[in-house]
Amino acid sequence: MNDFSAITAEQAANSAFMYAVGTVITLFIVLISVVFAVRSYRAAVAAGIDKKTIRAVIRSSAVFTLIPSTAILLGLITMAGGLGVPLSWIRLSVIGAVQYELIAANAAASAAGIEALLLNLLTPQVFVSIIVVMTLCIISGPMFNLFFLKRYSRGLQNMRQKDNRWGKLVVASLFMGMICTFLGNPVIALRVNPRTGLISLSVMIISALVMGLCTFAVKKYRLKNLEGFALPLSMIAGMICAVFAS
């Protein structure tokens, strides 16, 4: 216990052990991806699809996969300051998303009395608590899908068949509830700490404006290639806004 207490959160978050765990998890994910890719290729060949067509699809898919990954890389940079590189790497390599991870981590840090999600403000105990909260909460999604997704989908389908308006209303309400949860945090922060809240609100508004402009350009001028860059550009604009606002 004394040895653990002597270690800072930054040392624990960026330790060789955490990098080793991240490496093992990433290699496991890569292995699964390779296995599915090989099986898919063989299934496509067995179905009689021309190999040139398959290779063309693989090349185009690879290109259009790398572009959206820019947003994930930016998310990793964003999270690394508060959670360290290995944990951010692990979370975003599995089923994590930047929005969820930061909200869960901030909630755990706030419950421990930490003002901001920064490694130099955390203790190893709080860092471990953040990991537990992030992991346990994200498990709820796969567990719900495992046991209740069929019943939930069947209920939505029955609702659509009886009255499609109610089905659309339920889905739209769930989506808007999720969006309001994300958008409400800067407003709450504005009341608790006006300066921090103003920065968060400014970042949110600038990011939304850039996303809106990208969406407008895609629809109005048919710039389909811009669609994959919309999220990264919005995140970069938000980060630049945060730097100048701070």
- Which residues neighbour 197 within 8 Å (Cβ) at sequence distance 6 or greater? 186, 187, 188, 189, 190, 191
Please indicate, yes or no, whether residues 185 and 122 belong to a single structural domain of this protein: no
Q: How many domains does the chain have?
A: 2
Cβ–Cβ under 8 Å, residues 108 and 83: no
Please indicate, yes or no, whether residues 124 and 208 belong to a single structural domain of this protein: no
CA 7 centroid distance within chain: 29
pTM for this one?
A: 0.68
Q: Establish if 15 belongs to a structural domain.
A: yes
Q: Establish if 170 belongs to a structural domain.
A: no
Please indicate, yes or no, whether residues 150 and 242 belong to a single structural domain of this protein: no
Please indicate, yes or no, whether residues 97 and 124 belong to a single structural domain of this protein: yes
Task: State the pLDDT at residue 2.
Answer: 46
Q: Establish if 167 belongs to a structural domain.
A: no
Please indicate, yes or no, whether residues 142 and 32 belong to a single structural domain of this protein: yes
Task: State the pLDDT at residue 49.
Answer: 92
Please indicate, yes or no, whether residues 191 and 230 belong to a single structural domain of this protein: yes
Please indicate, yes or no, whether residues 156 and 183 belong to a single structural domain of this protein: no
Q: What angle do CA 207, 95, 147 make, to 5 degrees?
A: 125
Cβ–Cβ under 8 Å, residues 18 and 12: yes
Please indicate, yes or no, whether residues 124 and 240 belong to a single structural domain of this protein: no
Domain boundary among 133, 162, 191: 162
What SS3 state is found at 223?
Answer: coil
Q: Establish if 118 belongs to a structural domain.
A: yes
Domain limits for position 188: 179-246
Q: Establish if 172 belongs to a structural domain.
A: no
Please indicate, yes or no, whether residues 102 and 217 belong to a single structural domain of this protein: no
Q: Establish if 152 belongs to a structural domain.
A: yes
pLDDT per residue of the chain (246 residues) written in tens, 0 to 9:
445 456 788 888 999 999 999 999 999 999 999 999 999 999 999 999 999 999 888 887 877 777 667 777 877 888 888 899 999 989 888 877 777 888 888 888 888 888 778 888 888 889 999 999 988 888 888 899 899 989 888 887 777 677 667 767 877 888 888 788 777 877 887 887 888 888 888 988 999 999 999 999 999 888 877 777 787 888 888 888 888 887
Measure the CA–CA gap between 107 and 133, rounded to whole angstroms: 9
Q: Establish if 157 belongs to a structural domain.
A: yes
